[in-house]
Amino acid sequence: MIPFIQKLWLSFILFFALCFSAYSQSFYTVADNSVIRRETITPTGLIRKTLSSCVSGALSISVFNNTMFITTYSGGLYKATITEDALINCTGIVTAGNANALTVSKSGKLYMASGTQLYSYDPAVGGGVTLVGTMPDASSGDLIFFRDDLYMAGNNGIYKINLTNPILSTREIPNNGQGFYGLVSVRDDNYKIHIYGLRLSSGTDLVELDLDKKLVLSSPYTLPYSVYDGASEIEVGGPPLIKIDKIDLIQECNYYNRGYIEVTSGPHTEVYTYTLNTGETNTTGLFNNLMPGTYKLTVTTTTGVPPVEEDLIIPDYSLTKPKTTYETNIPVCDLQGTVQLTIKGTSTTYSIKYGNEVYPANHVFKIFPDFYRFIILDQNNCIVDDINLNLTKVGPCSPVTFPNTFTPNGDGINDMFRPSQDSRASKYQLHIFNRYGALLFISKDLALGWDGMSQGKAMPTGTYYWMVTYVDINGKPDTQKGFVSILK
């Protein structure tokens, strides 16, 4: 038995394959009653589906990606989004007059004909329609692009339109009683494009045309109703050009000093492949965790249209990181130390991630000698800095011990009474007394010892009393007492 997930995956592949095969040989028609249908060529004949529409009185149609453009008997030009069952989001965009023929180029520019007049309109620019020129024959109902040339079904035959000077357009296939009202292009599973003329009979015959050889071929299909216009995504003369709407370069949130590229493409039915010069490739247009630097993005399809290339720069985000300083109490011997970070930047609030926990920016970390990593987060919990500290302990760590003699004669040898300099302690206080109990000297620093002086006078040779209090390396309070002799 095939596991459920495998069955589901196989079903998805089969569904995708069937849909792709079907839609690759589909086109749209508008009948004399303005009903719009999707017609699909299959090995057993035509399959049709009526699409509900939010535009009434459809006269002529064209298709660009998932958008259908529609002229109406009332003189309007509309656009609508194509779905499986309907045309939705219909919007009037311009007055088109009495245009009974309509098509679209690879760039998305519309061409329409009214009688012998050829007009253009660019939805990306807006404004009104533009007169391109006068053609030698009137349109009988349709325009189409084939291999980047514009063709028209005219009253007297099929014409190749000269877009520079339409009056110089040439008739490629005479009418000879054919009476083509429309033109439609269909791509088969081998990517070959077939051009059909729509000829009225008891219904509508699809008559294949060879525009290269200027021949009328066979009529393999008949529609059971009168069709005045047809359209498909291939009517642009081949696959549409690659269209990139925008490219966003965004700082990564979960990685320090990394960025990601997000490509947003225009509506398209072909699969776009996105490739970076690093070799990374995908069909989503999303590239994560990229180091600062220059990248070349190439967008391609399998249809042979020119690729799109863009040079992109992921900036060095570390240049805008907050200024972080830190204050440490270095661990002494086996005692804990502390570290506290101070963060100054543009964010309203910062926090510090250490291990798996997040702490406020003013947190004091108790630490032992080790390697530490602190991650600075902004108010959105995004990483803006990554700080590494290597803290070593102060040592060696010896007990507090004192000598019993010293010779303060200025020879640089044993001139000072103080504890061993390997000693470690906190809250240290040393007191020196003479034999009568008078206080001669006080020190609160392990390194600062008695030089045998008191109130500016050198004390004579003899024995003196000392007492010291401190907290040892284990955190235990301690007191020591003893005698020290001055020798000279």
Q: Quote the domain boundaries for residue 13.
A: 4-237
Mean pLDDT to the nearest integer, 11-37: 62
What confidence score (pLDDT) does residue 147 get?
82
C-alpha–C-alpha distance, residues 390 and 267, integer Å: 53
Query: Do 209 and 95 fall within a single domain?
Result: yes
Within-domain flag for 183 = yes
Say yes or no to pLDDT of 141 above 90.
no
Q: Each residue of 86-101: b (16+ CB within 10 Å) or e?
A: ebeeeeeebebbebbb
Q: Which SS3 state, helix, strand or coil, does residue 6 take? A: helix
CATH number of the CATH domain containing 21:
2.120.10.30
CA distance readout (Å), 113 to 41, 144, 334: 28, 11, 91
Within-domain flag for 297 = yes
What confidence score (pLDDT) does residue 23 get?
40
Query: Do 286 and 336 fall within a single domain?
Result: no
CA quadruple 64, 65, 67, 73: dihedral positive or negative?
positive
Going by C-alpha positions, the residue among 310, 306, 28, 308 that lies closest to residue 148 is 306
More confident residue, 334 or 150: 150
C-alpha–C-alpha distance, residues 60 and 71, integer Å: 5
On average, the pLDDT of the chain sits at: 87
pLDDT by residue (tens digit) across 90-117?
999 999 888 999 999 988 999 999 999 9
Q: Kindly tell me the burial class for residue 233, based on how many C-beta atoms sit within 10 Å of its own C-beta (0-12, 13-18, 19 or more).
A: buried
C-alpha–C-alpha distance, residues 98 and 115, integer Å: 8
Within-domain flag for 399 = no
Query: Do 130 and 159 fall within a single domain?
Result: yes
Domain final residue, candidates 205, 237, 269: 237
Taking the CA atoms of residue 161, residue 165, residue 171 and residue 175 in that order, the dihedral angle to the nearest 10 degrees is 70
Domain final residue, candidates 209, 237, 265: 237
Query: Do 385 and 426 fall within a single domain?
Result: no
More confident residue, 130 or 8: 130
Query: Do 286 and 329 fall within a single domain?
Result: no
Side chain identity at residue 398, one-letter code:
S
Query: Do 182 and 309 fall within a single domain?
Result: no
More confident residue, 268 or 179: 179
pLDDT by residue (tens digit) across 233-261?
888 766 667 889 899 999 999 999 999 99
C-alpha–C-alpha distance, residues 321 and 319, integer Å: 6
Query: Do 28 and 91 fall within a single domain?
Result: yes
Q: Provide the terminal-to-terminal Cα distance of the chain, rounded to the nearest Å.
A: 103
The residues pairing with 360 across neighbouring beta strands, listed in sequence order, are 351
| Range scoring the smallest mean pLDDT among 264-268, 348-352, 470-474, 477-481 | 264-268
CATH number of the CATH domain containing 422:
2.60.40
CA quadruple 442, 445, 448, 450: dihedral positive or negative?
positive
Say yes or no to pLDDT of 44 above 60.
yes
**What tokens does 263 get?**
């490509």
Side chain identity at residue 474, one-letter code:
N
What confidence score (pLDDT) does residue 312 get?
96
> How many folded domains does the chain comprise?
4
What confidence score (pLDDT) does residue 423 get?
81
Query: Do 87 and 145 fall within a single domain?
Result: yes
C-alpha–C-alpha distance, residues 281 and 274, integer Å: 6
Say yes or no to pLDDT of 400 above 80.
yes
CA distance readout (Å), 147 to 54, 142, 160, 217, 446: 32, 17, 11, 19, 93
Query: Do 65 and 204 fall within a single domain?
Result: yes
Say yes or no to pLDDT of 3 above 50.
no
Query: Do 364 and 452 fall within a single domain?
Result: no
**What tokens does 292 get?**
């600062």
Query: Do 103 and 215 fall within a single domain?
Result: yes
C-alpha–C-alpha distance, residues 127 and 348, integer Å: 46
Say yes or no to pLDDT of 299 above 90.
yes
Q: Is the pTM of this model over 0.75?
A: no
What confidence score (pLDDT) does residue 333 get?
64
CATH number of the CATH domain containing 309:
2.60.40.1080
pLDDT by residue (tens digit) across 180-200?
888 999 877 666 788 999 999
C-alpha–C-alpha distance, residues 227 and 184, integer Å: 11
pLDDT by residue (tens digit) across 338-391?
899 999 887 778 999 999 999 999 899 988 888 899 999 998 889 999 999 888
- With beta carbons less than 8 A apart as the criterion, state whether 14 and 6 touch: no
Say yes or no to pLDDT of 219 above 70.
yes
Say which residues have a Cβ less than 8 Å from residue 304's Cβ, sequence separation at least 6. 239
Domain final residue, candidates 214, 237, 260: 237
Q: Is the omega angle on the peptide bond into residue 307 within 30 degrees of 0, that is, cis?
A: no
Within-domain flag for 458 = yes
Within-domain flag for 396 = no
Say yes or no to pLDDT of 442 above 90.
yes
Within-domain flag for 479 = yes
- For the chain, how big is the Rg over CA atoms in Å? 44
Query: Do 30 and 134 fall within a single domain?
Result: yes
Side chain identity at residue 394, one-letter code:
V
Within-domain flag for 439 = yes
Going by C-alpha positions, the residue among 83, 27, 64 that lies closest to residue 204 is 27
Percent of the chain with pLDDT over 70: 91
Within-domain flag for 398 = no
Say which residues have a Cβ less than 8 Å from residue 323's Cβ, sequence separation at least 6. 343, 344, 345
CA distance readout (Å), 427 to 59, 76, 430, 473, 479: 97, 92, 10, 11, 11
